[in-house]
Every structure is written in C-alpha cells, then in structure tokens.
Structure 1
Amino acid sequence: MVTETTTTPKSSIIYPESDGQPMADNTKQFRWIVTIQGGIDSLFEEDPNVFVAGDLLWYPVEGNNKLRVAPDVMVAFGRPKGDRGSYLQWKEDNIPPQVVFEVLSPGNTVIEMIKKLEFYQRYGVEEYYLYDPDKIDFLGWIRTENQLTRIETINGWVSPRLGVRFEMPESGLEIYRPDGRKFSTYLEEAQRAQQAEERAQQEAQRAQQAEERAHRLAEQMRELGIDPDAM
C-alpha cells in the first residue's frame, strides 16, 4: 500500500503580521523603542534605500511561518522605504536586517533573550544592541568572522553601519548622530521645535522693530532737510 503525502505550496502559506504580543510592556520601554526607531529613521530620511521599522515580524526563511522574530527596532540597508506588514526576507533580495535593537522590560526572560541572540547570529544580523533601561545596562555584539561577538567597550562605541555613537553616563543610554546631535524623545523634539519657532518669531520681531526705527530716523532727517538716501 502506498501512502500519498501532500505538502503545502509555499505560495499558499500565510505569514501572520502579528504575534499577538504587545509592542512594549510599559511606558519606559515604549518610549525607548520609539526614540531609537525615530532617531535612526530621521538619520537616514534622505536615503531611499534604508528601511527602518519597530516591532515588525521578520521571517527569514520562505515556507516556514513559525520561524520568526520581531526586533524592537530593525534596520535593513539596501531595502527601499515603505510600509510592510512583515519583513519577508526572500522578497527583500534575501537581505536580512543588518542592525537590530532590543529594549528589555521586566517581562523579558534570560532564555528568551538567549534565543533571540542565537536567531540573530544564525540569520545574518551584523550588529545587535540590547538595552535595559531599568538596570541602565547596555550591551552590544558585532559580527566578526561570521560570528556575533560581544563588544567589550560599549561606552563610546560607534556603530559601523549607523555611524551613531553610544554613551553610557550614570543617567542612562545616550545616542549621538554623526553631527553630534543627541537622539531625543518626541516630546523633546516638539519642545525643540517650539523653541526654534519662538526664536524665529523673536528674530522677526527684532528685525521689524529695527526697520521701524530706521524709518522713523529717516523721517526725522527729512524734517531737518537732510536726505537720508543721499548719505
């Protein structure tokens, strides 16, 4: 007796766009994820071939919808910007995210993070950064000879791919762009924009006042019989 076996065609396999897990467990973790993702996205806003995402499911192998991970932040160089429901690597020229970030929350377990490190090691991540905002602990790994190895001195480290610099004062992680500007939260960016707008308004007001003074002076000179335009 011959038993027939059937396999599901790869084209008919569904790759869920959600794993049912929340993006973050608390406000602190969420704030850091948004700050890192937004800072990197802003850094490469003029480059159409740098894709940056937060909490997006990454499927590295076609045909396997169980093999997946959702980095808190992922960066894929050589891939166009645009919206995606998930990152299907075989549809992305088989380019894996080169840089990933994870932000720990109290709900993360050691086993979970070890599995993620093994996943990133196996599927081609070049730089992996892990931040615990509660313990103020920041770790990093860099691919060397096809192996993710621990970065011994992370304070002052400059990401080869991103060009950003990481600093670890007692207050916690600080990330600096190549131009020296620090990554900031949405609220800090809004406050900075408001301050810039207020400065611009003050400059415009001072310019207008200076023009009005010059106009009054010119009128006074004309009253004295002096032509200001001839001076």
Structure 2
Amino acid sequence: MVFEILLPGNTKVEMDKKRDFYEKYGLEEYYLYDPETNNLQGWTRVNQSLVPIANINGWTSPRLQIKFVLTTTLEISFPDGRKFLTPVELEQRAQQAELERQRYQELLKQLRDRGIEI
C-alpha cells in the first residue's frame, strides 16, 4: 500500500508515472490525497491492473482495514474506529506530555528538598 500527499509542485504526468510503476511491480493499493482541494483518489489491484476506486468516501482498505472519510478534510480511522491524529494534534500531545514531565520533575525536586526520596 502506498499513500501519497500531492504537493503543489507535483505534475499529473509525474503522478501517472508513479502509479504506472506501482502497477507494474504489484502494488495492491494506491491512494493519492490533495490537501488543497480535499480530494482523495484511490486504486486497488484487480488481476494485473490498478483500477480506480469509484466510491472512495467511506472506503475501507482491504489490506490495512483503515477507513477513509472525507469531511472538511480527510479523516482516517483505525479498524477499531479511533481516528489517526493530525500533525497538529500530535504536536499538542507532545507539548502536553512535556509540560507534565516538567511538572513531575518539579514535584520530585520539592520532595527531595524536604528530605523525601522516592
């Protein structure tokens, strides 16, 4: 499975060549997402060819069992229904974890300053 995000500099010719390469070498699933237009395209292998997925919104990958849903953006869900986190959400979680780590270290220091070792 290959999932690609279209960049402004990518050309249709370039992306068609990539898909042809993947088709030639047996790729089972290929997904191409354009965040500028919120457009998702997908292809799945049927015999020797990658064929377009007609109804991609709500599609579940046969290989990974992840689900693709287009709302105002692309939402991808794990097989159990949990959504993949966006880069922004991942950064927020990392920042929160760092704040919690700093608070923990400060509490440990306060305990040590009072002669309490953990």
Q: TM-score range with shorter-chain normalisation?
A: 0.7 to 0.9
Aligned residue type for 2:2: V
1:103 equivalent in structure 2: 5
Letter in 1 for 2:66: V
2:38 to 117, 125, 136: 136
The one of 34, 45, 48 aligned to 1:146: 48
Q: Which residue of 2 aligns with 1:127?
A: 29
Aligned to 1:182: 83
Q: Distance in 1 between matches of 2:3 and 2:87?
A: 19
- The normalised TM-score by structure 2 is 0.75
Q: Which consecutive residues of structure 2, in runs of 5 or more, have no partner in the other structure?
A: 101-118
* 1:59-81 CA distance string (max 9 Å, x none): xxxxxxxxxxxxxxxxxxxxxxx
Letter in 2 for 1:188: E
Which consecutive residues of structure 1, in runs of 5 or more, have no partner in the other structure? 1-98, 199-231
Work out the CA distance in 2 between the residues paired with 1:101 and 1:186: 16
- Larger-Rg structure: 1
Structure showing greater relative contact order (alpha-carbon pairs closer than 8 Å, 6 or more residues apart): 2
The equivalent residue for 1:114 is 16
More strand by share: 2
The offset of 1:118, in angstroms, is 0.6
Task: Please name the residue that 1:201 is paired with.
Answer: none
> TM-score, length-normalised on structure 1?
0.40
**Cα RMSD (Å) of the superposition?**
1.9
Structure 1 segments (4+ residues) deviating >6 Å: none
Give the length in aligned residue pairs: 98
